[in-house]
Chain A
Amino acid sequence: MGPGIMGLVTVFVLAAFVGYEVVSKVPSILHTPLMSGSNAIHGIILVGSMIILGGAHGATQESLGFLAVVLATLNVVGGFVVTDRMLEMFKSRQADRSRAGRSPAPANGASATAKGAAS
């Protein structure tokens, strides 16, 4: 069972390039959500923790696995909730309720609403 070590290494190398490329286009205003969002993704260790706890034998393995699942759940749930809270707040002037005295700032492509895209 298992794809063999070289298969895993291949996947690892390709994933490294994808990770690097995908992030290279992120604007600096989204760096904090990016840190938080990628933080949530490594919460996938929850799947590993579940496998470990599911196959645990004896008190030591059970306690370690139990603790791992608690910590990994914290990571996943906290990570996604915090990121969503941050991103929820990025809305543009157009999404805002109408306000007096708008300055004629150019509305470029990026100023469409986050809400509009999400609905």
Chain B
Amino acid sequence: MSRGTATDLVYLIAIVGFILALKGLSSPKRARIGNLAGAVGMLIAVGWTFSLPEVHSDTHNLVLMLIAMVIGAAIAVPAARLVKMTAMPQMVAIFNGVGGGAAALVSITEFIGLPHGTVAIYKIAEVLFGVLVGSVSFAGSAVAFAKLQELMTGRPVTYPGQQAINAVVGAGVLALAAATLATSSSTLLLLLLLASLVLGVIFVLPIGGADVPVLISLLNSFTGLAVAASGFTLDSNLLIVAGTLVGASGILLTRMMSQAMGRSLPNILFSAFGSVVTASGGDGQSVEGRSVRTGTSDDVGVLLAYARKVAIVPGYGLAVAQAQHTARELADSLAERGVEVFYAIHPVAGRMPGHMNVLLAEANVPYDQLKEMDEANAEMSTVDVALVVGANDVVNPAAKSSPGSPIYGMPIINVDQAANVVFLKRSMRPGFAGIDNELLYDPKTTMLFGDAKESLAKLITAVVAA
């Protein structure tokens, strides 16, 4: 078997590992072993790559390579090990951004090495695509990270003529790409690189914090495509398949995420959603000056302790307060009293789809106690108490009843069908979408103000005492 055939075979094994990694995620019980298959595939591919003459023949470069890998791993392992589960979205953003940056660098270096004048035009086009998409993904992910890490405001950043300016920059990038294609000029490529970085930044600025996860998924898909473009440049099936797998799956995931929010992708990307805080539910009816019923933790504790069935609806507030463990303890003490408890998880609860499941899993909540939205809604009319912890928009009935509301059409957890609703909230402030919630003023609703974690801890005491 020739070396070339052996390489193809080894890379094919790696590709199968990647497909198994994605396939494993169809069920929680096979997900981890699948991810392991992907990691092994990656290890095999990288290990074999060292044996290629073009990689190891230059000792100086080989030493540089090993140093670079040690640096990368020395930063990545502690970062990935120590990051808090609530900070996971920005971690994914960063790891995605560096991948896009690497793809752009590979394309740039390849461009410099191309024997100009003799290469096919599609070869240059592939390089330019890699540079453009990789840089947009790199810069966009950096801004997304800054937004989620709260290094900058999570609100959409808007300015007059924003759409027009973005369109001009976008057109400029395409024009630069065309000019670089025609002239093969390195100066123009450098300009293209800078313009793509700018495009990545201004593209992400108007997107609000709540929508950033959808954006990260889209940028993840972009990075996949940039990697596939590098694969075309390097004649590598391995890079093409792995990059395209991510590109295609990322686009589908992005679509599923926007569907879960009841909005279209263009609406998420271009509408600067959440920049205006409206005082009314969108139907013109003012809710100012109306009274809400506030309860003490003892009241709520008794209500919970003597309920038959309790649904806990966790939202981002629970994650911020790091209250997932306390929530689980409350559920345990209720279960000890024979109360049936389940968690009703909205697909976009937390900051990414499935983020809440990860947080609750971290707190050792068994995943068969977690019910997805449809399943939870089917049972909601038999629930005695719906305990909403730090969530607002995902239970706001305005999504069903107020056609004028910005969240109209978004699927929600129907806690309004439960016999009693308890909101654990810091204040009356509206949620991410900036929309008031009628349900807070409903007679069957009790408000318990304060930090989610403290309130839950008080509830545990009250339940045990009841």
Contact = CB atoms under 8 A, between A and B. Distances in A.
Contacts of A20: 248-249, 251-252
B22 A22 contact: yes
A90 B105 contact: no
Contact of A29 (B68, B71, B99, B345): B345
B367 A16 contact: no
Interface in A42-91: 42-57, 60-62, 64-91
B292 interface: no
Interface in B3-37: 4, 14, 18-19, 21-23, 25-36
A48 B354 contact: no
Contact of A64 (B105, B342, B347): B105
B31 A87 contact: yes
Interface in B68-107: 68-69, 71-73, 75-77, 79-81, 83, 85, 88-89, 91-92, 94-96, 98-99, 101-103, 105-106
A81 B239 contact: no
A30 B234 CA distance: 33
Interface in A1-42: 1-3, 5, 8, 11-12, 15-20, 22-42
Q: Which of B14, B216, B250, B251 has the most CB of A within 10 A?
A: B250
A37 to B, nearest CB: 6
Contact of A25 (B26, B52, B103, B238): B26
Interface residues of B, number: 129
Contact of B28 (A3, A44, A68, A110): A110
A45 B99 contact: yes
A92 B31 CA distance: 13
Contacts of A22: 19, 22-23, 245, 249
A107 B26 contact: no
B366 A51 contact: no
B54 A51 contact: yes
Contacts of A100: 335-336
Given A44-B239, A45-B230, A54-B55, A38 B249 contact: yes
Interface stretch (B39-47, B171-179, B388-396): B39-47
Contacts of A70: 68-69, 71-72
Interface residue tally on A, bucketed by range: 35 or more
A106 B216 CA distance: 35
Contacts of A92: 28, 366-368
B235 A2 contact: yes
Contact of B25 (A3, A15, A26, A54): A26
Given A72-B72, A89-B362, A53 B81 contact: no
A33 B337 CA distance: 34
16 contacts: A20-B251, A29-B367, A35-B352, A42-B227, A44-B238, A48-B239, A52-B109, A55-B55, A71-B101, A77-B73, A78-B77, A81-B77, A81-B80, A89-B362, A105-B369, A111-B368
Interface of B: 4, 14, 18-19, 21-23, 25-36, 38-39, 42, 45-46, 49-50, 52, 54-58, 61-62, 64-65, 67-69, 71-73, 75-77, 79-81, 83, 85, 88-89, 91-92, 94-96, 98-99, 101-103, 105-106, 108-110, 112-113, 120, 122, 216-217, 220, 223-224, 227-228, 230-232, 234-253, 256-257, 260, 332, 335-338, 340-342, 345, 347, 352-355, 357-358, 361-362, 364, 366-370, 372
**Nearest 3 CB-CB pairs, A to B?**
A73-B72, A19-B248, A93-B366
Interface of A: 1-3, 5, 8, 11-12, 15-20, 22-57, 60-62, 64-96, 99-103, 105, 107-108, 110-114, 116-118
